[in-house]
Amino acid sequence: MKLKWTVMLISAVLLCGGCQSMLPQAPGLATAAWAAQNYQRQDQLEIQWKEQSFSFLLYQQQQGSKLEMLALTLTGQQLFKLSFDGRKVHVEQRIAPMKLLPFEFVVRDILYATYPNFAQLQQQNVRIETSAPARKVFINQQHVLNIQQQGDAIELNNVQVPYQMVISPINDGLANTDADSTE
């Protein structure tokens, strides 16, 4: 009997091993109202997930309908690179310790916290309860995210996965890329 269960378990692991489609999907991420625009932002992020802690610089840049995110260590080593097209997160590169990080949830939460009017782009049942300086995000009537503004920093607490994140903006690094800029 024990051998039977062991064989079934090994078979299931082999069938699902490395299968990204088995990772849970983040509700409230995909949006039909995603629009092309020029957008860029850089932040320092600290994420506490399970027993792991990550601290890195995150660069967001959207040109057209593709938003790209690039994470670097404070010394410049690339941690991950991904893109979001309004429907799906495409992880292009990542280091081994971040292999199981739930990127769809991380991207969704960063967008709700930092991207201009992301919650208004949703066609789904999204509700935001605001009581300064905090916001609670409900998707399909389920509480999924707490966002707390602490001075310049934004604290996120994902109640689904769960993990915590602190986003601290870096304002002096990116130059304005508009052609008519006079800076």
Q: Read off the pLDDT of residues 143-177 as tens digits, 9 standing for 90 and up.
A: 999 999 999 999 999 999 899 999 999 976 555 44
Which residues of the chain fall short of a pLDDT of 50? 3-23, 176-183
Taking the C-alpha atoms of residue 82 and residue 8, their distance in angstroms, rounded to an integer, is: 35
Taking the C-alpha atoms of residue 19 and residue 144, their distance in angstroms, rounded to an integer, is: 24
Which pLDDT does position 99 carry in this prediction? 86
Whether 148 and 154 have beta carbons less than 8 Å apart is answered as yes
CA nearest 121: which of 46, 39, 21? 39
* Coil, strand or helix at 81: strand
Beta strands at 163-169 and 78-84: parallel, antiparallel or unpaired: unpaired
Taking the C-alpha atoms of residue 133 and residue 150, their distance in angstroms, rounded to an integer, is: 8
Domain around 67? 33-122+164-169
pTM score, whole prediction: 0.80
Question: Which residues, at least 6 apart from 118, have a Cβ–Cβ distance to it below 8 Å?
Answer: 31, 111, 112
Residue 169: asked if its preceding bond is cis (omega within 30°), the reply is no
Q: Is the dihedral of CA 62, 67, 71, 76 positive or negative?
A: negative
Which pLDDT does position 173 carry in this prediction? 54
Which pLDDT does position 13 carry in this prediction? 38
The tally of CA atoms less than 13 A away on the side-chain side of residue 155 is 7
* Tokens read off for 166: 């602190």
- Does some domain include residue 28? no
- Does some domain include residue 51? yes
Provide the number of structural domains found in the chain.
1
- Does some domain include residue 136? no
Which pLDDT does position 24 carry in this prediction? 59
- Does some domain include residue 12? no
